[in-house]
Amino acid sequence: MADNDQLQVELVAADRTVWSGQATMVVAKTADGDIGVLRNHMPVLSLLVDGVVEITPVDGDKLFAAVDGGFLSVAHNRVSVLSQHAVLSAEIDVDAARSELESAGSDSDDEDAAVRARRADARIRAVERAS
Amino acid sequence: MALSVREYRARIRSTESMKKITRAMELIAASRIIKAQQRAQSAAPYARELTRAVSAVATYSNVDHPLTREPEDPKRAAVLIVTSDRGLAGAYSSSVLKEAERLAEKLRSEGKEIDTYICGRKGEAYYKFRGRPVVQTWTGFSDQPSYDAAHEIGKALIEAFLAEDGEHAVDEVHVVFTRFRSMLVQEPTDVRLLPLEVVEGEERPDSAEVLPLYEFEPSPEAVLDGLLPQYVQSRIFFALLQAAASELAARQKAMKSATDNADELIKKYTRIANQARQAGITQEISEIVGGVNALADANAGNE
């Protein structure tokens, strides 16, 4: 992997490795805004917010994953995305996420519900962007 | 030899059905243990990356964080005891509780008061029966812990640690759990969770591997703020997973010896039952022979 434009990417949830492989680009949403990582990016450790992570693998279609916060760490062309919960768009149940969003959205005062709504929203967006 | 053959047969039958149950439990534990180990393995990458990130922040920025600050005069300590929900696992729960007692004794001798937090119904029952105060308990997941459980426990413990004063504010947090060394060896251990000592990790990053100079976004403090609670939760999750694997291994071992003992009992009872049957037959024969002899004697007298 030394002489091309590849990154070693790992998308890791607390209880499993969601995706790992070679990719050319990773886009994630940090607390300061979207960040895109290409090869030879400087080492970065940054906080993510609930949102969608986009991975462009070397082979195959773009991948979209919904993450519930977490971290992005980039060093030596290795990118790790850590999140307590991370799901690939293919594994997301859209209908469940929609109903979750609706039920969470109805009581907007609750902080817990706001978090749930944001996460459900991220899931739905991941699926929408994948299709 | 007081009982009749029939009673021995009944005992053999009941021992046999007990053996079937313990054998089934042994097999279930054995198959679950593989799953528990797999879960522990699949949780490893997250813990590894998190440890690496935490040590990166700790090495390159001398930030002072409430979670790593040593209190000057620790007065209260919280102890989280990880026990099982169900019994029939040999000495598993009692050895964890014993270890917890030992730790509590040590902390008390250092002049600290103790707040107890418990995972698992066995520990809960132990403390309830003795009428000791428990701050909070979590039950229902001991043999397959989820990250959400660890998250919840971590949140409660961090809150207690960060609270300045109040009923449950503590200066230290310890965890007592059973470390899974192998299928045969599980040892109860206690670890001080908070304040964090970042250098001490489950897997030390390779010393040859130099950590890159990271840029922190939005700021080192903010990153640390987000990282450390997750690090604590991941450590708790690790403890729960180890405890789950240990519980299953202990259960498998206990059920294996229960099955073996049932086998022994069945053998013993079969021998006794056979002896009783033989004794019965011998008695019958001697009665018949005695009767025949008596008849023969009587007839001889008549002639």
ipTM of this predicted structure:
0.79
Q: Do B46 and A12 touch (CB under 8 A)?
A: yes
Taking residues B21-45, report their average pLDDT. Answer: 90
Mean pLDDT of all residues belonging to chain A: 82
Residue with tokens 């990153």: B223
Enter the pTM of the model. 0.83
Q: pLDDT-based confidence at B293, cuts 50/70/90?
A: very high
Q: Residue B29 and residue B183: Cα distance in Å, rounded?
A: 11
Contact B214/A30, CB-based, under 8 Å? no
Q: How far apart are CA B7 and CA B19, in angstroms?
A: 18
- Which residues of chain A lie closer than 8 angstroms to B234, CB-CB? 14
pLDDT score of B201 more than 50: no
| Contact (CB<8Å) B217/A32 | yes
The nearest alpha carbon in chain A to B224 belongs to A47
Which domains are assigned to chain A?
Answer: 7-88 (2.60.15.10), 93-130 (no CATH)
CA distance B169 to B144: 30
| pLDDT at site B68 | 78
Closest CA to B33 of B89, B71, B114: B89
Chain A contacts of B235, Cβ < 8 Å? none
Give the least confident one: B41-55, B85-99, B277-291.
Answer: B41-55
Interatomic CA distance for residues B65 and B72, integer angstroms? 15
**Closest in A16, A42, A47 to B222, CB measured:** A47
* Domains within chain B, CATH numbers bracketed: 27-255 (3.40.1380.10)
Nearest to A47 among B147, B213, B223 (CB): B223
Task: Check residue A93 and report its DSSP letter.
Answer: -
Interface of B with A (CB under 8 A): 39, 42-43, 45-46, 49-50, 52-53, 56-57, 146-147, 150-151, 211-218, 222-223, 226-227, 230, 233-234, 237
Confidence band of A95 (pLDDT split at 50, 70, 90): confident
Q: Taking an 8 Å Cβ-Cβ cutoff, which residues of chain A contact chain B?
A: 10, 12-17, 30-32, 35, 42-47, 69-71, 73, 75-76, 80, 82, 84-85
- Say what the pLDDT of residue B203 is: 47
Q: Which long-range contacts (CB under 8 A, 24 or more apart) does B166-171 make?
A: B168/B78, B168/B115, B168/B135, B169/B76, B170/B76, B170/B77, B170/B78, B170/B115, B171/B71, B171/B73, B171/B74, B171/B75, B171/B76, B171/B77, B171/B112
| Confidence at residue B28, expressed as pLDDT on a 0 to 100 scale | 93
DSSP state of A109: T
How much is the pLDDT for B202? 44
First to last CA, chain B: 43
In B, minimum Cα distance to A10 occurs at B45
Any bridge partners for residue A10, and if so which? A20, A80
CB A47 to CB B217 under 8 A?
yes
**Residues A39-53: what's their mean pLDDT?**
87
Question: Around Cβ A38, how many Cβ atoms within 10 Å?
Answer: 14
A81: Cβ–Cβ under 8 A, 6 or more apart, which residues? A9, A10, A11, A12, A26, A28, A48, A53, A65, A67, A70, A71, A72
pLDDT at residue number B12 = 94
The yes-or-no verdict on residue B199 having pLDDT over 70 is: no
pLDDT(B209) > 70: no
Least confident of B27-36, B48-57, B78-87: B48-57
CB B73 within 8 A of CB B217: no
Please tell me what DSSP assigns to residue A84. Answer: S
> Ranked by mean pLDDT, which of A84-98, B40-54, B282-296 comes out on top?
B282-296
The yes-or-no verdict on residue B291 having pLDDT over 70 is yes
**B77-121 pLDDT, tens per residue?**
999 999 999 888 888 999 999 999 999 999 999 988 899 999 999
| Nearest CB to A15; choose among B147, B213, B217 | B147
B283-301 average pLDDT score: 91
pLDDT of the residue at B48:
84
What pLDDT is attached to residue B75? 85
Q: Which of A33-37, A86-90, B233-237, B259-263 has the lowest mean pLDDT?
A: A86-90
- Residues of chain A with pLDDT > 90: what percent? 2
Give the number of other Cβ atoms within 10 Å of residue B106's Cβ.
13
pLDDT tens digits, one per residue of B114-132: 999 999 999 999 999 999 9
Q: What is the distance, to the nearest Å, from the Cα of residue B265 to the centroid of all Cα atoms in its chain?
A: 28
Test mutation, A20, A40, A45, chain B, max B CBs within 10 A: A45
- State the pLDDT at residue A62: 85
Predicted confidence (pLDDT) at residue B237 exceeds the cutoff of 80 = yes
For chains A and B, CB pairs below 8 A equal: 85
Would you state the structure tokens that stand for residue A70, as one six-digit string?
Answer: 């977490």
To test the contact with chain B by mutation, choose from A19, A42, A47, A50 the residue with the greatest count of B C-beta atoms within 10 A, namely A47
Q: In terms of pLDDT, which residue wins out, A58 or B302?
A: A58
Spatial neighbors of B230 by CB under 8 A, at least 6 apart, are A70, A82, A84, B50
Give the pLDDT confidence of B156-172 residue by residue, as tens digits.
998 888 887 777 788 88
Question: Is there a contact between B217 and A47 (Cβ–Cβ < 8 Å)?
Answer: yes
Between residues B46 and A92, the one the model is more confident about: B46
Rounded Cα–Cα distance for residues B283 and B278 (Å): 8
Predicted confidence band of residue B47 (pLDDT cuts 50, 70, 90): confident
